[in-house]
Amino acid sequence: GAPAGFTRPAPLPQTGWERLSELWRRDEKQQYPEETVNIVKSAFTAGLVGWLYGGLPAFVSARKAFIESSHGEIFQNRAEAVHSAHRAGLRSFIRYGWRWSWRVTAFATIFNVVSTGLSAYRDKTTISNFAAAGAFTGALFRMHLGLQGLVGGIVFGTAFGVPAGGLLMAMYGLAGETLQEKRSRERRELYEQKLAEWQSKLNMIEILGQTENNTQGRPEMETAKEM
């Protein structure tokens, strides 16, 4: 028989839930799937973009307002006045940059998690996945405003998700395959490789077993002949 622990490779995931759960599991190299890593990267990028989007205008506006409101103040020198203006701008940069950063990060992360999850569950990447992810995210962000806000969030999210999905689909078209197709192909190739290795080892074990049986059977035959 085969040694303990020598089992057939686990079959490929067949259901949407199995494919979905794979997104949050590490592989044999202790690495997360590319889609999951991309979610983290996009969250960081969205946070940085949101901080700059909200912080830079606030910095300029606060600095300008400080200069206009401080004409009557007396500073020891020009450097002190400049530093005071910069500090006022920096406070606004941090304050309003953070407000925009966490909102943009949350929106992008929820959108990417839902769209990636839908692609994995359905085992295909389509614009409808991004449209649905945008509608869900927009509704989630505006639901506290009541029914009107909920509807507005769905419309805004869908309007965001469709072009974003179209852009990503165009990029996938240039690459020749989507991330879901790439992952399915690599997963199938790895399974076929493991299955071939398992079959090869199984055949070797069977050959060794037959050889061992033949070796044990010869002394018995020789003893029978002597008798």
Give 71-129 pLDDT, tens digit per residue: 545 455 556 666 777 788 888 889 989 999 999 999 999 999 999 999 888 888 889 99
Mean pLDDT, the chain, integer: 82
- Domain for residue 201, yes or no? yes
Q: Mean pLDDT throughout 10-38?
A: 83
User: For position 62, what pLDDT does the model report?
Assistant: 83
As for how many domains the chain has, the answer is 1
User: For position 136, what pLDDT does the model report?
Assistant: 94
CB 134 within 8 A of CB 157: yes
- Domain for residue 207, yes or no? yes
- Domain for residue 90, yes or no? no
Whether pLDDT at 22 is above 90: no
- d(C-alpha 157, C-alpha 133), whole Å: 8
- Domain for residue 33, yes or no? no
- Domain for residue 81, yes or no? no
For residue 129, which of 171, 172, 158, 170 has the smallest C-alpha distance? Answer: 158
User: For position 51, what pLDDT does the model report?
Assistant: 94
Residue 99 CB partners (closer than 8 Å, separation 6+): 54
- d(C-alpha 112, C-alpha 146), whole Å: 25
**How is 31-69 classified by DSSP, letter by letter?**
---HHHHHHHHHHHHHHHHHHHHHHHHHHHHHHHHHHHH
Whether pLDDT at 162 is above 60: yes
Range of the domain at 189: 179-216
- d(C-alpha 125, C-alpha 60), whole Å: 42
- Domain for residue 44, yes or no? no
- Domain for residue 4, yes or no? no
Residue 139 CB partners (closer than 8 Å, separation 6+): 150, 153, 154, 157
pLDDT tens by residue, 178-188: 877 887 887 88
> How buried is residue 76: exposed, middle or buried, by Cβ count under 10 Å (0-12/13-18/19+)?
exposed
| pTM attached to this predicted model | 0.75
Residue 193 CB partners (closer than 8 Å, separation 6+): none
- Domain for residue 199, yes or no? yes
